[in-house]
Structure 1
Amino acid sequence: MTLVLLMFAAFAVLLLIGVPIAFAMGLSAVMALAVEGTVPLLVLPQRFYSSLDAFSLLAIPLYIFAGEIMNVGGVTAAIVRFARSLVGHIRGGLGQVNILTSIIFAGISGSAAADCAAVGSMMLPAMKREGYKPEWSVVITTASSILGPIIPPSILMVLYGAMTGLSIGTLFLAGIVPGLFMAFVMMVLVYLKADTIGAPRQSRAPLSEVASSLGAAAPALLMPVLIVGGILSGVFTPTEAGIVAVAYGLLYGIVARRLTLRGTYEFALSTALSTASILIILGGAALFSWIIARAGVPAAIATWLSEVTSNGAVVLALIVLLLLVIGMFIETISALILVVPVLTPIAGNFGFDPIHFSVVTVIAVLIGALTPPVAVLLLLTCKIGGVEYSRTMRPLVPFLLVLFAGLVAIMYVPALTLALPRLFGYGG
């Protein structure tokens, strides 16, 4: 346990002096083992490599690349137009459109940051032109962006499956209903807060506009159907689905005449950099987590929790509070990579369904990423919208409350997560 405390101390110091989290985790693990002196340091590169030697991780760059290609073809504008024709007349107007756009865009990007950037760049100027309060527009965009990693295809679910051995296809299925449920509670809040937000009344779009916008948005709507449908039907694996998504994106870009060789190269380079960043974090966290597991920390925590309470509901609440705090300070992917190897055996000890627990974990970390003081996603959207971070604190509170209420419902009503996987044969 002393070794673990030393490693955490080194980790905290490295973070405070500005070392990137991937290197902070890896270097603190190296320092701890060097001080202990009982394990050859040659073990570390072996552990680093073995953590990345998973075929399923190949899906990450494929989904990122497919999302980049799809977005260049003007698909975001088409999604916004379609969403506006469907829900723009509902009380809350463009706030409702913003959330529905994030639902549809989630089927393309799988990333909260990508959702913030793409949807925010389209919706924030439009909402400003129509008189919406900028701070509310930023908060709505940020809160709805968490749907990206919940509704499939999800980069976080791919990572979770790679780290735990759970079926990525089942994880994708498990995220659909919770993602739609979280979107619903946000849409209810926007409906109730329409006057506060500054939402003007909108007229209902004619059926001709709905049909026209549906035709333009059809490629975006078909992509998640193609991916999830192909996985569920057994035609291809989640990783192979990534290849299909890239091929589909390339075809769409060519047909839309928006894809160039230079643009494709830039997307490939951006994808490579993003993937390298994720994999370095994963490797550093693997070293960090291996030392934690080697020291028996998960078992010790499980024992402590058993002594504190035997009530599984209370244990789950304590774990979620921990995840929320971690998500507040550590970027989402890094946080997930850090906690999953530690929490998975604890969840198993208390008999939590692994698929249900995975969805709860992902959503809790994402809500943490919306929560000050760091709130990485909110900072990104504030930059896009040109709004001071401090101005978003008041409108952020009701969104955090409804999202947390939604998370509690998902925590204690497992059917919200498991009904769809069970419909397709999951036996958990």
Structure 2
Amino acid sequence: MQAPTSQAPEFVAELWLRRGVELLAAGVVLAEVGILLSGIVARAVFNRPIIWSDELASILFLWLAMLGCALAVQRGSHMRLTFFVFMVGPRAQRWAETLAVGATLAFLGLALHPSYEYLQDQAFVETPALGWSGTVRALAIPFGFVIAFASCLLRLVHHDWRDLAGIIAIMGAVAAGCYLAAPSLTAMGQSALLVFFIGLLGAAVMSGVPIAFAFSLATAAYLLTCTSTPLAVVVGRMDEGMSTLILLAVPMFVLLGQLVHGTGLARVMVEFLAALLGHVRAGMSYVLLGAMLLVSGISGSKTADMAAVAPVLFPEMRKRGMKDGELVSLLAASGAMSETIPPSIVLIAIASVTGISIAALFTAGILPAIVLAVVLGFVARWRAGREEGASVVKRAPFSVVRKTFMVALPALLLPFVIRSAVVEGVATATEVSTIGIAYAVVAGLLIYRGGLRWKAVLPMLVQTASLSGAILFIVGAASAMGWALTQSGFSHDLAVKMAAVPGGAVGFMLISIVAFIVLGSVLEGIPAIVLFGPLLFPIAHQLGIHEVHYAMVVILAMGLGLFAPPFGLCYYAACIIGQVPAEAGMKRIWLYLGVLLIGLIAIAFIPWISIGFL
């Protein structure tokens, strides 16, 4: 990290605070990897399991989540909907940036004392294996909130005082309005939910407030205005949502994705596929689709997948005559196509909130993605025939194909090792990610020498903590919001209405597809799953829909929304990674998304595609 050019006290304080959090978060990531790997070796090699390893990993996991959340606040990397913000002028964009920081600060200020109360409550808890007080673990929450609060204050120093005054006035007016209207809103019953979770939440999200903090503010405002529930309960629900041990796989797979890109594993896989298929019509499009299928099984992150594939393939695809709009459209569609490839982070999240077997989800996720890849392959071949200037490429000699295969073989084995280890029960999703990390490090140092540089390790660890913190905090915020909706009676009423949808299971499935396309485009994938998974999956079960089949359908529908312009966040990520203007793919992408929708409907009404191999 480079030091700011100014030496003003606020710049220096911000620099040192950020560096301190980065080093601490990186150390926790390394400790988690070491503890999990030691536990695997002790159990599998020496047959002497370490009884306290999972407990210590769980304690550090909450610290990692909160440090990562604070780090994401410092970097401004919490998930946001910026479509509407970018439609306005620079002045309004600066105002929206100030609002994003101010709203984050407002929730953190509300949560500081409740987090301290929650810490005191946890003092009576003792961990069974280590015998430690619960405060050791729970201290992570107020600590993270304090660091994030201080970081927001330091960031606001750089904003225009007029924007600050406007933001304070608006938030003060909202708070005063809630206070004065409290009796009326309470008397409205469930109708008040529209004010907080449609009106306030919608306005915050569209204004560019980070989604996790928009959820948190809407939940806090509802509980403070319409109930007597203390906010310490909200903090507890956030802790519960973030602390599911299966979610420990999230930072591990994020780090694995960083290593796959940094060690060159992704590059050699792509080079082998290019040598094998590059000469056929639409061959490089097939390579891109195949590479996304392979890489998705390693990193679990769509952004990491695209970042590993696009820089390697796009220059050659441009040489062969493909237009920028076609490139980014195919890249975005392939990202939506591969949402169910294990070990997708969304699969892990859906397993954590619904209780579905993660081994079953990992088994079921492969064939639906292959079906959609085949559908996209037909479209890519048709489009390749219409592209002007497409060049003819000679078939690579067998010696080149063989050489690239031998070089890529260690990398090609990694996704199969990951999937088979989980499906066969050799290791849990969390453990197998750690095995994958060790595999990638060994491959980077011994096989693909020069790919992994030590100076890149700290940025990888910091990026892992930041991205993981943003993901895990949004899970916690969505869990708290889902709890508030349940307590209001909304969940029960929704279940009754959804179960009575005309058409039974068919009508419910169609409505679910539409709903998750919309939710995926507006809320991003994980919060949509955490919020609505516990509500809708029991209804699907009542209607006779297999829960694994339903999971595949809603994940793919969510992926369509996530990559669909103008709202889909990942579409813009694809444009940034491919260095293509967003408007270049706006017209071309709809054909790809349209055939993906047709493929999704086929998957929805042919359950065997999802559950045939269970």
Give % identity.
31
Residue in structure 1 matched with residue 285 of structure 2 by the alignment: 95
Separation in structure 1 between the aligned mates of residue 286 and residue 518 of structure 2, nearest angstrom: 29
Q: CA deviation at 1:346?
A: 2.6
Aligned counterpart in structure 1 of residue 481 of structure 2, from 288, 298, 302: 288
Residue in structure 1 matched with residue 519 of structure 2 by the alignment: 326
Separation in structure 2 between the aligned mates of residue 251 and residue 227 of structure 1, nearest angstrom: 16
Separation in structure 1 between the aligned mates of residue 500 and residue 553 of structure 2, nearest angstrom: 23
Q: Where does structure 2 lack aligned partners over 5 or more consecutive residues?
A: 1-189
Aligned counterpart in structure 2 of residue 48 of structure 1, from 234, 238, 246: 238
Residue in structure 1 matched with residue 576 of structure 2 by the alignment: 383
CA 1:196/1:209 → structure 2, altered by over 3 Å: closer, same or farther?
Answer: same
Residue in structure 1 matched with residue 265 of structure 2 by the alignment: 75
Q: Secondary structure at the match of 2:588?
A: helix
Residue in structure 2 matched with residue 279 of structure 1 by the alignment: 472
CA contact (8 A) 1:110 1:148 kept: no
Higher mean C-alpha displacement, 74-83 vs 132-141: 74-83
CA deviation digits over 1:274-308, x for unaligned, max 9?
11001110111011111122223233223223444
Aligned counterpart in structure 1 of residue 350 of structure 2, from 152, 160, 167: 160
CA contact (8 A) 2:257 2:301 kept: no
Separation in structure 2 between the aligned mates of residue 60 and residue 23 of structure 1, nearest angstrom: 20
Residue in structure 2 matched with residue 109 of structure 1 by the alignment: 299
Larger radius of gyration: 2
Aligned counterpart in structure 2 of residue 26 of structure 1, from 204, 216, 220: 216
Separation in structure 2 between the aligned mates of residue 260 and residue 131 of structure 1, nearest angstrom: 35
Separation in structure 2 between the aligned mates of residue 113 and residue 352 of structure 1, nearest angstrom: 31
CA contact (8 A) 2:337 2:559 kept: no
Residue in structure 2 matched with residue 394 of structure 1 by the alignment: 587
Q: CA deviation at 1:208?
A: 2.0
Separation in structure 2 between the aligned mates of residue 298 and residue 350 of structure 1, nearest angstrom: 17
CA 1:306/1:147 → structure 2, altered by over 3 Å: closer, same or farther?
Answer: closer
CA contact (8 A) 1:108 1:220 kept: no
Residue in structure 2 matched with residue 426 of structure 1 by the alignment: none
Q: Secondary structure at the match of 1:371?
A: coil
Separation in structure 2 between the aligned mates of residue 384 and residue 110 of structure 1, nearest angstrom: 17
Q: Which amino acid aligns with 1:294?
A: Q
Separation in structure 2 between the aligned mates of residue 189 and residue 210 of structure 1, nearest angstrom: 26
Q: What TM-score do the two structures reach when normalised by structure 2?
A: 0.66
Higher mean C-alpha displacement, 224-233 vs 382-391: 382-391
Residue in structure 2 matched with residue 201 of structure 1 by the alignment: 392
CA contact (8 A) 1:61 1:272 kept: yes
CA contact (8 A) 1:138 1:385 kept: yes
> Aligned Cα RMSD in Å?
1.7
Residue in structure 2 matched with residue 220 of structure 1 by the alignment: 411
CA contact (8 A) 2:504 2:543 kept: no
Work out whether 1:253 is the aligned partner of 2:418: no
Q: Which amino acid aligns with 1:338?
A: L
Residue in structure 2 matched with residue 243 of structure 1 by the alignment: 434
CA contact (8 A) 1:106 1:147 kept: no
Residue in structure 1 matched with residue 323 of structure 2 by the alignment: 133
Work out whether 1:175 is the aligned partner of 2:365: yes
Q: Which amino acid aligns with 2:590?
A: V
Separation in structure 2 between the aligned mates of residue 76 and residue 224 of structure 1, nearest angstrom: 11
Residue in structure 1 matched with residue 14 of structure 2 by the alignment: none
CA contact (8 A) 2:520 2:562 kept: yes
Work out whether 1:270 is the aligned partner of 2:463: yes
CA deviation digits over 1:287-344, x for unaligned, max 9?
1111122223233223223444142111110111011111122223333333323322
Q: CA deviation at 1:148?
A: 4.3
Separation in structure 2 between the aligned mates of residue 87 and residue 100 of structure 1, nearest angstrom: 10
Q: CA deviation at 1:77?
A: 2.2
Q: CA deviation at 1:141?
A: 1.4
Residue in structure 2 matched with residue 16 of structure 1 by the alignment: 206
Higher mean C-alpha displacement, 49-58 vs 346-355: 346-355
CA contact (8 A) 1:4 1:291 kept: no
Q: Which amino acid aligns with 1:213?
A: T
Q: Which amino acid aligns with 2:408?
A: A
Higher mean C-alpha displacement, 147-156 vs 169-178: 147-156
CA deviation digits over 1:352-391, x for unaligned, max 9?
2111111111100001112121222221222233332222
Work out whether 1:341 is the aligned partner of 2:534: yes
Q: Which amino acid aligns with 1:329?
A: V
Number of residue pairs aligned between Structure 1 and Structure 2: 421
Q: CA deviation at 1:98?
A: 1.3
CA contact (8 A) 1:111 1:149 kept: no
Q: What TM-score do the two structures reach when normalised by structure 1?
A: 0.94
Separation in structure 1 between the aligned mates of residue 500 and residue 340 of structure 2, nearest angstrom: 33
| Counterpart mapping for 1:293-312 below 5 A | 293-312=486-505
CA 1:374/1:269 → structure 2, altered by over 3 Å: closer, same or farther?
Answer: same
CA contact (8 A) 1:25 1:288 kept: yes
Q: Secondary structure at the match of 1:102?
A: helix
CA 1:16/1:140 → structure 2, altered by over 3 Å: closer, same or farther?
Answer: closer
Residue in structure 2 matched with residue 5 of structure 1 by the alignment: 194
| Counterpart mapping for 1:364-383 below 5 A | 364-383=557-576
Q: Which amino acid aligns with 2:441?
A: L
CA contact (8 A) 1:93 1:200 kept: no
CA contact (8 A) 2:299 2:305 kept: yes
Higher mean C-alpha displacement, 178-187 vs 69-78: 69-78
Q: Where does structure 1 lack aligned partners over 5 or more consecutive residues?
A: 423-428
CA contact (8 A) 1:93 1:202 kept: no
Aligned counterpart in structure 1 of residue 608 of structure 2, from 393, 409, 415: 415
Separation in structure 2 between the aligned mates of residue 412 and residue 203 of structure 1, nearest angstrom: 42
Q: Which amino acid aligns with 1:304?
A: K
Q: Secondary structure at the match of 1:250?
A: helix
CA contact (8 A) 2:340 2:365 kept: yes
Separation in structure 2 between the aligned mates of residue 31 and residue 340 of structure 1, nearest angstrom: 24
Separation in structure 1 between the aligned mates of residue 525 and residue 312 of structure 2, nearest angstrom: 24
Q: Which amino acid aligns with 1:245?
A: G
Q: Secondary structure at the match of 1:193?
A: helix
Aligned counterpart in structure 2 of residue 210 of structure 1, from 401, 417, 424: 401
Q: CA deviation at 1:220?
A: 2.1
Higher RCO structure, 1 or 2 (CA under 8 Å, sep 6+): 1
Separation in structure 2 between the aligned mates of residue 101 and residue 317 of structure 1, nearest angstrom: 31
CA contact (8 A) 2:525 2:562 kept: yes
CA 1:201/1:314 → structure 2, altered by over 3 Å: closer, same or farther?
Answer: farther
